[in-house]
Structure 1
Amino acid sequence: MSEERIEVEVPEDVRGKRLDVYLAGVAGSRSAARRWILKGCVEVEGRRAKPALSVTPGMRIRILPPEPEPLLPYPEDIPLDILFEDPYLLVLNKPPGLPVHPGAGRRSGTLVHALLAHCRGLSGVGGPTRPGIVHRLDKGTSGVMAVAKDDEVHRALSEQWKGHTVFRRYLAFAWGRMRERRGVVDAPVGRHPRDRKRMAVVEGGRPAWTEYEVLEEYEFLSLLALYPKTGRTHQIRVHLSHIGHPVFGDPKYGGRTKRLGGLPPRERRGAEELLELIPRQALHAEVLGLVHPVAGRYMEFRADLPEDMMALRETLRGRRWGT
């Protein structure tokens, strides 16, 4: 089932409608609502219900929509920037804007589609919609990714991630200046209590640990190197937002237009110009280090900053904005 829980309270002006009719707008159709109810995805006052149940004002309905039926991905001719490849492993530099795998509303144009066109064999451990995918980067994040070509290699790489032995270095432009040149954010990450499509630092979340280092400072931005020890969803983005320095350009975690209101006019004009250079979060997976599962030797892979982040850095260094 999906993790996107929906809770509804029947309003005062609704009375006597069948449950499947009432939920048709949520499910997309009455037949879809009926399927959800019969699958046990709908509870009324904490109990499973029948489609014909008459709803009354004040009733509390909880819905956990089922996952959509996956469509198997197919090969697509999408260019890949390959850093390393042998019969067991492929390492690439993912460009910003490329989703890693198919998902809701995304049936083509992903990294998986490109990999299927490039490789004859990929691991199946992750399921039919995620062949070869050992770890992932967000759509808007660029940088180094490793892909497994068979199940044994996939499991061996997964153990390295679970054991926190993989070395990862990210580069990010963050709002503001850090109080210390080096530091650690040690804060648990879980689903946002109100917005299930976002993550947040929450009590009872999964342990998450990110080290940061200041590389360069500008008037109202900093260039950081980040070393995540754990690999929670959106971890770096959530941690930097949590400490008041969201990733520049990040619309999901307060790194885009929300920061403009508190800036003096000159800095605001400069920030608006900089945001035009990068339509995404300014976050890049620069280095990935791991032990080759077959050769048994440590290998490290590096991807240079993509063009948009290079342009941002050069503009900041030249101070050619806000004049």
Structure 2
Amino acid sequence: MRVDRFLADAIGSLSRSRVKALMETGHATVDGAPLTDPSAAVRPGAAYRLKVPPPVPATPLPENIALDILFEDKHLIVLNKPAGLVVHPAPGNADGTLVNALLHHADDLSGIGGEARPGIVHRLDKETSGIMVVAKSQPAHIALSEAFATRDLDREYLALCWGLPAQMQGEIEGNIGRHPTDRKRMAVVERGGKSALTHYWVEEAFGTAGCLMRLKLATGRTHQIRVHLSHVGHPVMGDPVYLRRIPAAAAGLAKPAREAAMAFPRQALHAATLGFRHPMTGQALRFSADPPADMALLLECLRA
């Protein structure tokens, strides 16, 4: 029997999916040793232990976390999210998120768009930096959510990628769905998935070893830029999920640049520009932010 099923049956009060999630996040042991594989077979005579963490508050709590705010009025906030900041609480990140910071910053934000993700109309991955807009009123939340759903806005990303595309500008198209063998990853799939289209422009080339790309999304799928670039053989530098081996293009860089690129600890991806119409006034707004210091330093190494 699979150990996740065994534990769920033995405990009785937890679903198998809950047991599986707890195991994958390090809450299970067998004979005192860590056990993270839910599909492992039960061993006769072994002692299994599952530690259930205390419940997380249903409503996130305010936390005094600094925010880089570019614009704010009574309806919305535009900010520059740093890499490493999770947008909203989730298993494994119960606090210390952007939502916790926003609740401390804006007293009347709670409940706008739902208690679990107040004010959030879109998100960036934890290790992706850049510009986000957050709603401060319910009408703004509805209007901004609709703008993101219909792509009635302008979003541009900057990415440092391995290799150089044959075309200096173009598009990448391919349905995105769950990876067939690794459920924690997304992939371009032949069957099912959701349609996805990414436009790109090469801003700067570092020989044929790497390049700085500007990208626009015509759709908004999970990990879309990272999945599409990896699919066409130009993965984002530092990507811990979609860069699985040393790229052949790395040989084209001088040693200092190659070492800096290979050691970069996160995906070198930055949401550089966000343009939209103010949901209440209709005014055209556009915000830009330079890449953060770590990505700027990598860019200088590649140029050198």
TM-score of the pair, normalised by structure 1? 0.76
Q: Find the counterpart in structure 2 of residue 201 from structure 1.
A: 188
Query: Does structure 1 residue 218 correspond to structure 2 residue 206?
Result: yes
Q: 1:306 aligns with which of 254, 277, 292?
A: 292
Deviation at 1:265, TM superposition (A): 8.9
Measured in 1, the distance between the counterparts of 2:302 and 2:249 equals: 20
Tell whether the 8 Å contact from 2:70 to 2:79 is kept in structure 1 after alignment: yes
What are the within-5 Å matches in structure 2 for residues 226-237 of structure 1? Answer: 226-237=215-226
CA shift, 1:120, in A, is: 1.4
Secondary structure of residue in 2 paired with 1:259: coil
Task: Note if contact 2:155-2:217 (Cα within 8 Å) is conserved in structure 1.
Answer: yes
* Residue number among 1, 5, 14 corresponding to 1:35 in the alignment: 14
Query: Are residues 178 and 266 of structure 1, via their aligned partners in 2, closer, same or farther at CA, if it must alter by over 3 Å?
Result: closer
Larger mean CA deviation between 201-210 and 170-179 belongs to 201-210
Identity of aligned residues (%): 50
Regions of 4+ moved over 3 Å = 123-126, 260-270
Task: Spell out, residue by residue over 1:263-300, the C-alpha distance to the aligned partner (whole angstroms, 9 max, x if none).
Answer: 54975664223333x31000000000111110112111
Deviations 1:53-72 (A, max 9, x none): xxxx9xxxxxxxxxx96522
1:92-119 CA-partner distances (Å, limit 9, x unpaired): 0000011111111111111111101100
Corresponding residue of 2:266: 280
Compare 103-112 and 130-139 and name the one that shifted more: 103-112
Distance, in Å, in 2 between the alignment partners of 1:290 and 1:213 is 21
Q: Distance in 1 between matches of 2:150 and 2:216?
A: 15
200-209 vs 235-244, which moves further: 200-209
Give the letter aligned to residue 193 of structure 2. Answer: G
Aligned to 1:163: 150
Gaps of 5+ in 1: 1-9, 12-18, 42-56, 58-67, 319-323
For 2:174, the equivalent position in structure 1 comes to 187
Residue of structure 2 in register with 1:128 after alignment: 115
How does 1:132-143 map onto structure 2 within 5 Å? 132-143=119-130
Partner of 2:60: 73
Determine helix, strand or coil for the equivalent of 1:35. Answer: coil
Distance 2:135 2:109 in 1: 6
State how 1:149-160 maps to structure 2 within 5 Å: 149-160=136-147
Q: Looking at CA atoms only, which structure, 1 or 2, has the larger radius of gyration?
A: 1
CA gap of 1:263–1:156, structure 2 versus 1, over 3 A, is closer
Taking a change above 3 Å as real, the CA distance of residues 229 and 183 of structure 1, as seen in their structure-2 partners, is same
Deviations 1:190-248 (A, max 9, x none): 11121111111112111111100000001311000000111111000001001110001
Indicate the residue corresponding to 1:54 in structure 2.
none
1:249 equivalent in structure 2: 238
> How far apart are the structure 2 equivalents of 1:69 and 1:125?
23
| Letter paired with 1:193 | P
Instruction: Tell me whether 265-274 or 90-99 shows the greater mean CA deviation.
Output: 265-274
